[in-house]
Amino acid sequence: MTNLAALKQECTAAVEAANDVSALEEVRVSTLGKKGRLTEVLKTLGTLPADQRKEFGAQVNVIKEEITALLEARRAVLNSAALDAKLAKEKVDITLPARAESKGAIHPISQTIEEISTIFADMGFTIAEGPDVESDFYNFTALNMPPSHPARQMQDSFYLASEPAVAGTAEQGEPLVLRTQTSPVQVRTMLSTKPPIRIIAPGRTFRCDYDQTHAPMFHQVEGLLIDESTHMGHLKGALMDFLRTFFRAPNLNVRFRPSYFPFTEPSAEVDIGCSRKNGELKIGEGSDWLEVLGCGMVHPKVLENCKIDSTQYQGFAFGMGVERLAMLKYGIPDLRTFFESDLRWLRHYGFASLDIPNLARGG
Ligand code: DAH
């Protein structure tokens, strides 16, 4: 009859000697597998006299359970040792600071768009985009500016030849225009998305204008929020929070002045408090005002043009000029310099590649 004590000792020693998971698996197969040593012993049960069979079988089963438990425990030890070894091998020293690129810089326009987006992202707005070449419908008509509307003269537009130059941007034969504002992205978003809507749309815009404060191509960020209950108070709160964060001035004075835009009713222009002394502009102090953006409650006609039920839904919209905000925040005196590609200018006003906008720091 097999010496069970010796067998148990040998199996135990084999388990303990296994140095990795595959060696351990071999031990398992050679003890508990189909032809394993303990399995073979169990097979001999039938040859034993009936009076010994029961007790011997019970003893073998106890050993089997003990070895199984030992195998499990050893496997856990080996697995954790293997993980430790892997982690030690893949160790990365994250304390080493990354070096900012010494060549090249982030353009102030890109930086400012990032800053604006970061602040609105924190309020739950997502980014929407639209094409630079727009159809007359999206840029004007849907925004409550039908062909004869005088407000069209507020913006000197660049029109393209009437045949659609870019597939998919216009109905056949509709005049194409370089978008004069980012507001058409509102229309595209409302036509393609069910409310609630909460987007901002940064992008290029074009107008036939060129002087110290106007360029034929410039950037805007549009905002749109549509749901069932948002009102003018929310608009004021959101824009005040935005401006105070953007200009890093928690006590910045913000004023809403009645104004007119065809696509909002009521409409307002927003001014921030500043001082203009000895030709020097300081934001956040003094008793002067400076206009920074336009806004209002989305006109019911615009909602209807965009297939949104104006008896159920309402919301606000706003639009701001990126260059203007960048000039004010970073003290850049001439708009034209943004687009002159002068490397000395970029080195002076540009941002290091790791200067990522950060709300804790104020955008
Ligand atoms: N689209 C306007 C412009 O270019 C800016 C603007 C004003 C956008 C008010 C809006 C708004 O969404 O509500 O002058």
Tell if the pTM clears 0.75, that is, is over it.
no
Determine the pLDDT at residue 148.
82
Determine the pLDDT at residue 101.
66
Residue 321 CA to residue 339 CA, distance in Å, equals 15
CB-based contacts of 104, cutoff 8 Å, min separation 6: 353
Q: Point out the residues of the chain with pLDDT beneath 50.
A: 165, 167-170
**Are 82 and 327 within 8 A, CB to CB?**
no
Residue pLDDT, tens place only, 140-174: 999 999 888 877 766 688 888 765 545 444 455 67
**Are 232 and 265 within 8 A, CB to CB?**
no
H helix runs in 182-310, sequence order: 184-192, 232-246, 300-305
Cis peptide before 216 (omega within 30 of 0): no
Measure 261 CA to ligand 1 centroid, in angstroms: 7
E strand or H helix at 55: helix 50-89
Measure 7 CA to ligand 1 centroid, in angstroms: 87
Residue having the nearest C-alpha atom to atom 3 of ligand 1:
181
Measure 106 CA to ligand 1 centroid, in angstroms: 27
Overall residue count recorded for the chain in this entry:
363
The encoded tokens of residue 141 equal 């008509």
| Ligand 1 pocket member 189 (CB < 6 A) | no
Residue pLDDT, tens place only, 90-145: 988 888 787 766 678 899 999 999 999 999 999 999 999 999 999 999 999 999 99
Residue having the nearest C-alpha atom to atom 4 of ligand 1:
181
* Ligand 1 atom at minimum distance from 220 CA: 4
Residue having the nearest C-alpha atom to atom 5 of ligand 1:
319
* Number of neighbouring beta carbons within 10 Å of residue 54: 11
Chain centroid to CA 262: 32
Residue 107 CA to residue 348 CA, distance in Å, equals 10
E strand or H helix at 136: helix 136-139
Determine the pLDDT at residue 165.
47
Residue 88 CA to residue 70 CA, distance in Å, equals 27
Determine the pLDDT at residue 195.
97
Cis peptide before 131 (omega within 30 of 0): no
Measure 183 CA to ligand 1 centroid, in angstroms: 6
Measure 295 CA to ligand 1 centroid, in angstroms: 6
Measure 318 CA to ligand 1 centroid, in angstroms: 6
Determine the pLDDT at residue 171.
55
| Ligand 1 pocket member 262 (CB < 6 A) | no
| Ligand 1 pocket member 187 (CB < 6 A) | no
Measure 95 CA to ligand 1 centroid, in angstroms: 46
| Ligand 1 pocket member 201 (CB < 6 A) | no
Closest CA to 223 of 331, 335, 90, 320: 320
Tell me the helix, strand and coil percentages in the chain, rounded to 5.
45, 20, 35
